Structure 1
Amino acid sequence: MASYSEMIRETLVFEDINLARQLFGEQNSNLKKVADTLEINIQARGNTVHIEGDSISTKLADNILNQLYALLKEQYPIYPNDIDFAIRTLSGDNKVNLKDIFLDTVYITAKKRAITPKNTAQKAYIEAARNNDMVFGIGPAGTGKTYLAMAIAVSALTKGLVSRIILTRPAVEAGESLGFLPGDLAEKVDPYLRPLYDALHDMMKFEKASALLQQGVIEVAPLAFMRGRTLNDAFIILDEAQNTTSEQMKMFLTRIGFNSKAIITGDITQIDLKPGRISGLVEAKEILQGIDGIEFVYFSKKDVVRHRLVHKIISAYEVKDQLKKSQQRNESE
């Protein structure tokens, strides 16, 4: 905490008391979250808020609350997770305008829920997909890489920008050795493609998604099924790309046809390939930089948009991995 001499006090008055109550949250829960995270004191009475703390945190809280209030005035509903996103985003860059992020609607689901970016990395990801034919989204689980890619693809399909969506990922830890699994082919690969189905069914009604799958407008298939094909007029998503081999990645990238877009997602810290095999995603990251029409967007643990504990879990594992690498370096010296 800062010393007492650096403590300041600010007062905010929000003109619309109903919006102020939404901003404050039930029993001032949103204000309490901001106060606890920034280690400051926030008191509310009516439509007035008093903030007291060190100058940096107090001004940050002022910025957070004013920007969230501005979102409410635009009829954007503030949920508890939005408070976390706002704190993380503005803590990293206090010049960010939350309106530019939260009001950028990617897709409206069948449940009338707007899918929007939740941080600057997601915003950059969406912009990259709009402006490029191929985008790589690289970062840890929980950052929304696959979910947003699905929303962008479904939006393109509904707008008539593409005629089909193809969703693929390497199956069985990139080895795609499906023969030993019980059941027919669909039963063998379904468990590995299930996350893609889950995201799809969150975008549209089950009946509509099922009909599009039966018609072949949406195709979900293991990566091995892409060999020998040319994918025209399609939006293609390759998920879990860190588990592609160099050969598989090259095969996939050269399937892209006319009027097609591709998003490739993966987490290069979670590679399941056998020792000695080069990850196609890692190699692509090294050799495709700077090519016009291809953009790389990187996510970090601060961009996690799942339950707040996921962020802490990722941090804990990172600490463990760093200690392990440090021990290995010491042993080799």
Structure 2
Amino acid sequence: MVTTQLPQTPGPDTLHEEAVEFPDNRLLIDLCGEYDRNLADIERSLGVQILRRGNQLVVMGEETPAKETVEVLRALYQRLESGRMVEPGDVDRELRMGSDSDEIGARDGDQLEMFKGGRVEIKTRKKLVEPRTEAQKAYVQSLFGNELAFGIGPAGTGKTYLAVAVGVSMFIEGHVDRIILSRPAVEAGEKLGYLPGDMKEKVDPYMQPLYDALNDFLPGKQLAKLIEEKRIEIAPLAFMRGRTLANAFVVLDEAQNATSMQMKMFLTRLGEGSRMVITGDRSQIDLPRGVTSGLHDAERLLGRIPGIAFNYFTSRDVVRHPLVAAIIEAYDKDAPTG
């Protein structure tokens, strides 16, 4: 790749221009994306214009955004050169986190090694998962580095998705023998009444987001076999009572809907060789009025205990549709204070 700063005519409204040359035209096509979607996303985010001239991309805009655009384009092209794909999520990650040329401590070999400032990748059977914000990156590092970690923040910030990805990665590499995923079976503001079927059919609707995450990381037949063998368990929080969860990667999702007693019960299930992740959103408590959220109590009581990590997300870390972040911000501003 060759970057050329183009000559400009002096004037108050002069735009900074840089031309970046990409030698492999096939990779350049992938870089641009279908109907130049990737370029359009970069233009919209950084406020620049990108023109394609042969095997060059010409960036026009104010100097700082133009230079940032060049770095984003270079990083995405290098990704393609390494044999990986560039999808909209990869573009979003580069725009949020910027380019980092350091080596990835966990790309090859054991992912439990300390990360050394570079990108973080989580290996699963079906895909590589990469954090898309600095908070997500710190969260993943925390999950690998701590036996008990909390992820707290609004919907769409990847708390559960990344936790399940780390669990699958550790399971694949043999660091744990089982994955146990749990949620409180609390209805989100609606009374659904009695559900038909056996116990599994009754609770599965509450657990569906956990199945969805697992399906992203493991082939269907392998996942079904692991569930049949109980090496992967998905169960309501109430089913955890009386168990000791050893050599397992354990996730409690929607923890804001656990009562204080349920949270204490769950946290004390942690056994030898296990790791536990608690995720929740304090703005989506569905417990009856007057019932204290166990997540709130856990923050208050455990925040200063060494070895327990608390990781927080904001609307800036939302990685769903951009409107989701705007919706969360609007509701946060309207929330009563004090």
TM interval, short-chain normalised: 0.7 to 0.9
Give the direction of change, closer, same or farther, for the CA distance of 1:204–1:316 in structure 2 (3 Å limit): closer
Amino acid at match of 1:50: V
Question: Which residue matches 1:105?
Answer: 121
CA contact (8 A) 2:178 2:247 kept: yes
Superposed, 1:19-168 pairs within 5 Å as: 19-90=27-98, 100=104, 104-109=120-125, 112-168=126-182
Q: Residue 25 of structure 2: which of 6, 11, 17 is its match?
A: 17
Superposed CA offset, 1:235-282 (max 9, x none): 111011111111111111111011110111111111111222221112
1:322 is matched with 333
- 1:324 and 1:166, CA in 2 relative to 1: closer, same or farther beyond 3 A? closer
Structure 1 residues 260-279: aligned runs within 5 Å? 260-279=274-293
**Corresponding residue for residue 203 of structure 1:** 217
Is the 1:138–1:297 contact (alpha carbons within 8 Å) kept by the matching residues of 2? yes
Return the letter of the residue paired with 2:78.
A
Cα separation, 2, equivalents of 1:104 and 1:321: 30
Q: Does 1:238 align with 2:252?
A: yes
Return 24-33 or 61-70, whichever deviates more. Answer: 24-33
Coordinate RMSD, CA, aligned: 2.8
In structure 2, what residue type is equivalent to 1:318?
A: E
Paired AA for residue 312 in structure 1: L
CA distance 1:138–1:56, shift in 2 (3 Å): same
SS of 1:160's equivalent?
coil
For 1:284, give the aligned amino acid. Answer: A
In 2, the alpha carbon distance for the partners of 1:269 and 1:218 equals 29
1:173-203, CA deviations, whole angstroms, 9 ceiling, x for partnerless residues? 499x999444332222111112112222332
Aligned-residue offset at 1:17? 3.2
The aligned amino acid for 1:219 is: E
1:117–1:315: structure 2 CA closer, same or farther, 3 Å change rule?
A: same
Q: Which residue of 1 aligns with 2:324?
A: 313
SS at match of 1:50: strand
Q: Give structure 1 stretches of 5+ with no counterpart.
A: none
Unmatched 5+ stretches in structure 2 = 1-10, 105-116
Flag the 1:233–1:27 CA change in 2: closer, same or farther, 3 A: closer
Q: Structure 1's 207 and 76: CA in aligned 2 closer, same or farther, altered over 3 A?
A: closer
| Structure 2: distance between partners of 1:232 and 1:174 | 31
Aligned equivalents of 1:187, 1:236: Cα separation in 2: 22
Q: Which moved more, 1:247-256 or 1:186-195?
A: 186-195
1:204 shift after superposition:
1.9
8 A Cα contact 1:172 1:178, kept in partner: no
**Structure 1 residues 289, 206: CA separation in 2 closer, same or farther (over 3 Å shift)?**
same
CA distance in 2, matches of 1:172, 1:89: 36
Larger deviation: 5-14 or 296-305? Answer: 5-14
CA distance 1:103–1:17, change in 2 (3 Å): farther
Letter aligned with residue 133 of structure 1: E
Q: Which amino acid letter does the alignment assign opposite residue 56 of structure 1?
A: T
Q: How does 1:153-232 map to 2 (within 5 A)?
A: 153-173=167-187, 180-232=194-246
**Structure 2 CA distance for aligned equivalents of residues 48 and 130 of structure 1:** 41
For residues 135 and 97 of structure 1, what CA distance do their matches in structure 2 show? 28
Change beyond 3 A, Cα 1:98–1:73: farther
Give 1:103 deviation, angstroms: 5.9
Q: Which amino acid counterpart does residue 140 of structure 1 have in structure 2?
A: P
What is aligned with 2:7?
none
Contact residue 67 and residue 98 of structure 1 kept, 8 A? no
- Within 1, Cα distance between the matches of 2:323 and 2:283? 16
Check the 8 A contact 1:247/1:280 in 2, yes or no.
yes
| Distance (Å, rounded) in 1 between the aligned partners of 2:245 and 2:41 | 48
Structure 1 pair 251–302 and aligned structure 2 pair: CA distance change class (3 A): same
How far off its partner does 1:125 sit?
Answer: 1.8
Q: Kindly tell me: are residues 187 and 28 of structure 1, through their superposed partners in 2, closer, same or farther at Cα, counting changes over 3 Å?
A: closer
Q: TM-score, normalised by structure 1?
A: 0.84
CA 279–10 in structure 1, closer or farther in 2 if over 3 Å, else same: same
